[in-house]
Amino acid sequence: MHLASLRIITDDLDGLVAFYEAVTGVTAQRPAPPFAEFVLPTATLAIGHTQTVALFGAGAARAADNRSVIVEFRVDDVDAEHARLRPLVSDWVQEPTTMPWGNRSVLFRDPDGNLVNLFSPVTDEAIRRFAGR
């Protein structure tokens, strides 16, 4: 089994796509007007407009209603990304911090309130854990 993608449902597709383009530095692919994908080397982040929810069943997902999932991106330098994104992000949850499991991490919310974590493994054990991924 392979994790193919994570999908965020939003009422503001263009706004959220622009936000994640700025965060990732990747231009989204737009295979259909209500849908976008960020195809990254290890996974795909998909963003769908709320009008796509009806295709799965009415009420299957609600925009801007997540408080249990964290979208995570491994980056080379958390502190540099924090500095780069400071003008873009309005809701910082955690300043750069080294976590007990060995990752340096910074957390913020996207415009829909979804939690985003940028992290880098910094301890020897964490670096070994991510080797080859």
Does the pLDDT of residue 132 top 80, yes or no? no
Calculate what percentage of the chain has a pLDDT beyond 70: 100
For the stretch 72-116, pLDDT in tens is 999 999 999 999 999 999 999 999 999 999 999 999 999 999 999
Calculate what percentage of the chain has a pLDDT beyond 90: 89
Residue 10 and residue 122: Cα distance in Å, rounded?
34
For the stretch 45-67, pLDDT in tens is 999 999 999 888 888 999 999 88
Query: Which residues of the chain form CATH 3.30.720.120?
Result: 1-65
pLDDT of 58 reads 83
Sign of CA dihedral 77, 132, 127, 38: positive
The sheet with strand 35-39 has its strands ordered as 5-10, 44-49, 35-39, 29-32
Average pLDDT over residues 1-27: 96
Average pLDDT over residues 5-29: 97
Query: Which residues of the chain form CATH 3.10.180.10?
Result: 67-133
- Homologous superfamily of 67-133: 2,3-Dihydroxybiphenyl 1,2-Dioxygenase, domain 1 (3.10.180.10)
CATH architecture group of domain 1-65 = 2-Layer Sandwich (3.30)
Residue 133's pLDDT band (cuts 50, 70, 90): confident
**pTM for the structure as a whole:** 0.94
